[in-house]
């Protein structure tokens, strides 16, 4: 680690190949906890670059459980967490709306880390199995149009990082990369981030990782989701070009709510909110999902503009297509798990 630490301490960033080499050392058995902590803290102090984030993500994907998948045009919608808003599980709810609109969704997620309830916690309460074999992911995407990739099952190498991150008690590069490490080769992505200063950097990383189109969000109140409480900030990646813009609820014909009105609770409470939205109940939760799902449909390229995306999201909910995707995923994931047992 010494040469990499020295270069970072001299305030020179690592290029992709250097970061890949450093990351392989980071995950090896030859590095001490002290070196690991120093590396992560020093990167945080300097500020992570697009090349450094890309290099680490590529190594994490190298070490992931292989998931064969030939399904085309797959996307993910996932946030970094870390915004401390305690909102309900917006992206998890929106994922079923995206699937109901005909988009293939490989939803990558975990249990709670920085929030009260992670996507895995909510889906487990609803009855989605987290333990079906990785080789069945392709079957789920092909037959249902949505699959959940439980991060610990596909990234066992990351387990050794947990103690170091907890001991450091500061944000590190690992607080940024969760949505980037989906082992499926995604074509498009909707990515929420709690740091507004990193919008264009994350869009550049997505480009380096091969995304053809993606939308990076920092919401009003610095949420890692789009919010109906005010102005949202975006970076749009489209065929290698990156454009920034802002959007407020009134721009797309949606009402305004405070972020406190979309607070969630424990896994049971958040699962009830998710079901209420997919069952068509009118609420701030539904309107927030309409905005985020509409943005996801637009990021995917299935809508020409955000307003059209929101309309397609409404149709997905009101036709019960989104709810049917959830119910089918529950049924099939349980069946696949039982076959293994």
Predicted confidence (pLDDT) per residue in 159-218, tens digit:
888 889 889 989 999 999 999 999 999 999 999 999 999 999 999 999 999 999 999 999
Return the CATH number at 21. 1.20.970.10
| 34 and 148 part of one domain | no
Give Cβ neighbours of residue 331 (< 8 Å, ≥ 6 apart). none
Whole-number Å distance between alpha carbons of 13 and 66: 30
Return the CATH number at 98. 3.40.1030.10
| 266 and 238 part of one domain | yes
Mean pLDDT of the chain: 93
Binding residues for 5-phospho-alpha-D-ribose 1-diphosphate are 79, 82-83, 87, 89-92, 107-115, 119
Binding residues for Mg(2+) are 91, 224-225
| 5 and 98 part of one domain | no
Count of domains for the chain: 2
Binding residues for anthranilate are 79, 110, 165
Does residue 235 sit within a domain? Answer: yes
Does residue 46 sit within a domain? Answer: yes
Domain boundary (29, 63, 97) is at 63
| 15 and 164 part of one domain | no
Whole-number Å distance between alpha carbons of 317 and 96: 9
| 272 and 209 part of one domain | yes
Q: Do 65 and 154 form a contact (C-beta atoms < 8 A)?
A: yes
* Nearest by Cα to 146 from 206, 201, 100, 82: 100
- For residue 133, what pLDDT is reported? 80
| 179 and 322 part of one domain | yes
Does the model's pTM come out above 0.85? yes
Does residue 335 sit within a domain? Answer: no
| pLDDT tens digit sequence for 57-72 | 999 999 999 998 999 9
| 150 and 293 part of one domain | yes
Binding residues are 79, 82-83, 87, 89-92, 107-115, 119, 165, 224-225
| 133 and 169 part of one domain | yes
Half-sphere exposure of 198 (CA within 13 A, CB side): 21
Whole-number Å distance between alpha carbons of 320 and 280: 8
| 193 and 265 part of one domain | yes
Structural domain containing residue 47: 1-63
Axis-axis angle for helices 284-300, 90-100 (nearest 10)? 60
* Nearest by Cα to 261 from 83, 79, 85: 85
| 188 and 208 part of one domain | yes
Q: How many Å from the N-terminal Cα to the C-terminal Cα in the chain?
A: 43
């Amino acid at each position: 680690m010494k040469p990499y630490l020295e270069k970072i301490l001299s305030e020179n960033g690592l290029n992709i190949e250097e970061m890949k080499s450093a990351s392989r050392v980071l995950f090896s058995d030859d590095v001490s906890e002290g070196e690991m902590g120093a590396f992560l803290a020093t990167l945080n102090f300097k500020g992570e670059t697009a090349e450094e984030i890309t290099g680490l993500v590529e190594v994490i994907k190298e070490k992931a459980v292989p998931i064969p998948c030939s399904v085309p045009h797959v996307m993910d919608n996932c946030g970094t967490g870390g915004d401390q808003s305690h909102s309900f599980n917006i992206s998890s709810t929106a994922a079923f709306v995206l699937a109901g609109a005909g988009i293939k969704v490989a939803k990558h997620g975990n249990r709670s880390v920085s929030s009260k309830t992670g996507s895995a916690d909510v889906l487990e309460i609803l009855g989605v199995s987290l333990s079906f074999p990785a080789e069945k992911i392709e079957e789920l995407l092909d037959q249902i149009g949505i699959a959940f990739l439980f991060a610990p099952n596909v990234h066992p190498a990351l387990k050794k990082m947990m103690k170091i991150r907890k001991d450091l008690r500061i944000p590190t590069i690992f607080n940024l990369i969760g949505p980037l490490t989906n082992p499926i080769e995604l074509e498009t992505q909707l990515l929420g981030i709690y740091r507004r200063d990193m919008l264009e950097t994350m869009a550049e990383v997505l480009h380096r990782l091969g995304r053809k189109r993606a939308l990076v969000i920092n919401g009003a109140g610095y949420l890692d989701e789009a919010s109906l409480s005010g102005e949202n900030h975006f970076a749009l990646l489209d065929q290698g070009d990156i454009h920034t813009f802002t959007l407020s609820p009134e721009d797309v014909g949606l009402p305004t709510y405070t972020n406190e009105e979309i607070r969630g609770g424990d896994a049971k409470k958040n699962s009830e909110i998710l079901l209420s939205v997919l069952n068509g109940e009118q609420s701030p939760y539904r309107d927030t999902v309409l905005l985020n799902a509409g943005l996801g449909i637009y990021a995917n390229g299935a809508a020409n503009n955000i307003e059209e995306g929101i309309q397609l999201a409404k149709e997905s909910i009101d036709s019960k297509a989104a709810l049917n995707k959830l119910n089918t995923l529950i049924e099939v994931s349980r069946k696949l798990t039982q076959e293994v047992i």
